[in-house]
Structure 1
C-alpha cells in the first residue's frame, strides 16, 4: 500500500506549512485537498498553480490524489436543479484539468444528493448522467476518478458498497473506480470485507481515519482490525488520511506525527 496525508486540517495555514511537514515526514506523497485560500477550484490564476507545482516538486513530493471540496454547497452533480448540476460538472472538469497539469493521476469525487422529498431514482439517474460525462472527459485526459460514498445525513444516492458497485457498473468506464471511507463505512454498518466483496479490484482508494475523520487511535473505531482486514484482502492500492476534525486545526503538524506513530505501532508498513 502507498500512504499519504491530506492537508484538510491545514486549511488555516499556507499550503507551504503542510508541504514542509510532509517533506520532514516518512511520506513521499500527498492527498491535495483543494479549497480556498490554498487552492480555490472555482477560480485561481495560472501563476498560483505554477507556484504550487514548483513548491511540491522542489520537496520531491508527488500528488497521489487530488480532493476538491465536493460535498458541500454549491457542488452537487446529482441534483434535480439543472443550473447547479451543470456548474458542478464544469467544476469537476476544472479539477480534472488541474490534476492533469500537476501530474496527478487521480481525482476524488463524492456523490451529490437529490431532494430528499423526491424519488431517489431521479437523483440516481442524474448522478449516472453526470458521471458518464466526467468519465468520458477523464478517458481523454488520462485521469481516474475515485467515487466515494457518503452518509445518509448528506446524501440519498450513494451510501453503501452495493450502491457504489451498481453505479460503477452502470457508468461502465475504466476511468471511474470506487473508494471507501472508514467513517462512512462504519456509519452504514458495513465492514471492510463488504466493500471488497462488492467492488473487488474496482476498490482502489481508502480514506483511513477514525470516527469523525480523526487520526487513527484518537477515537473508538477498531483501526488496527480495519488495517488487518485490508491487508488480508491483499490490497496494494492507495490510502490517504482525511483528517477533518477541527481539534487538529491549532496544531496540524502534531496530527501528522501521531499518524506516523500509530502506523509504526500498529502496522508492518514501511512509510
Structure 2
C-alpha cells in the first residue's frame, strides 16, 4: 500500500518577518516577486505598528495585500522586542497589553486571519512563577472570549521564562485547559524546541488535538535562521508532522539580524527549501 503524504506546499506561509528594516511596499513587492500567496503578517514598525494604526489603515493595507496576490492566514503582533506583556504585574501595563491584543484580534479578523500568534506573558524573575501563571490564564480567558466572537484562534508560543509562562507543550495544554476557551490552541516553533528540551515527536504527542500552527525556521547556534543555515533536522521534523497528518500552516519565521540587508534572499531561499523538504519528507 502506498504511504499517504499529508503535508502540502499549499500549507506554506511566507511572511514579512525579515523585512522589518524596509517599507511595507518593498516587502509586499518582494513576496509577490517570489510567487507567495498565503502569509503570516508580522505587525511591527514600520509596517503596521498597532499603536499607530486605525481601522482605516487595516482596510488600506488589506487592499494592498490583495493587489499583491497575498492573503493573511495568521496575524502576529510584535510582543518580544516591544513591552507587550499580558501577565504583567503592573495593572496599567497589563491593561495596555490586553488592549494591543484586542486590537490584534479585531484587526487580524478584518484582514481575514484565522490565527493570532500569542505569548502568554511573563512575570519578573524574582517572583513566584505561579503568580504570573494566574495572570496569564486570566488574560487569555478574556482574549479567548473575544477571539471566539471574532472567529479567530489564539495560538500559544513556547519560550523561556524571560518571554512567557508556557515553556513547553505540556505547559501550553495546561494553559488551554485553564482558560476554558475553545479559541486558545497550541503551536510549535522548530527554532525554539531546543529551548524547551522537546523533540518534535514529544511536542506533537503532547499537543494532540490542540496543534493549530507551526513556525518553521532553522536554528543553532542562533535562532530563526534561513532553512539549511543552522543545525536543525528540519526534514525530520516535517516528517513527524506528516506522520501526524498535520494540516495547518507551516509559517516561515525567518527573523535574524544577519538578514537585515538581504530579506528577499532569506525568505525566497527558505520558501524554495521548504517546498523541497515537503516534497521529499
Q: TM-score, normalised by structure 2?
A: 0.91
Counterpart in the other structure of 1:229 = 240
Counterpart in the other structure of 2:103 = 94
Residues 143 and 266 of structure 1: CA distance in aligned 2, closer, same or farther (over 3 Å): closer
Determine if contact 1:9/1:252 at 8 Å carries over to the other structure.
Answer: yes
Counterpart in the other structure of 1:143 = 152
Residues 17 and 151 of structure 1: CA distance in aligned 2, closer, same or farther (over 3 Å): same
Residues 130 and 198 of structure 1: CA distance in aligned 2, closer, same or farther (over 3 Å): same
Structure 1 residue ranges, 4+ long, deviating more than 6 angstroms after superposition: none
1:45 shift after superposition: 3.8
1:177 shift after superposition: 0.5
1:180 shift after superposition: 1.1
Ranges in structure 1 where 5+ consecutive residues have no aligned partner: none
Q: In the aligned structure 1, how far is the partner of 2:109 from the partner of 2:278?
A: 33
Match of 2:78 among 69, 77, 98: 69
Determine if contact 1:67/1:109 at 8 Å carries over to the other structure.
Answer: yes
| Deviates further, 125-134 or 100-109 | 100-109
Determine if contact 2:144/2:183 at 8 Å carries over to the other structure.
Answer: yes
Q: In the aligned structure 1, how far is the partner of 2:162 from the partner of 2:134?
A: 20
Counterpart in the other structure of 1:182 = 190
Q: In the aligned structure 1, how far is the partner of 2:25 from the partner of 2:40?
A: 14
Aligned length: 268
- The one-character-per-residue Cα deviations of 1:110-130 (angstroms, maximum 9, x if unpaired) are 121111111111000000000
Residues 162 and 202 of structure 1: CA distance in aligned 2, closer, same or farther (over 3 Å): same
Q: In the aligned structure 2, how far is the partner of 1:223 from the partner of 1:133?
A: 35
Q: TM-score, normalised by structure 1?
A: 0.94
Match of 1:20 among 24, 29, 43: 29
After TM superposition, the structure 1 = structure 2 runs for residues 19-168 of structure 1, keeping only pairs within 5 Å, are: 19-155=28-164, 157-168=165-176
Q: In the aligned structure 1, how far is the partner of 2:55 from the partner of 2:210?
A: 34
**RMSD, aligned α-carbons:** 1.5
Determine if contact 1:79/1:113 at 8 Å carries over to the other structure.
Answer: yes
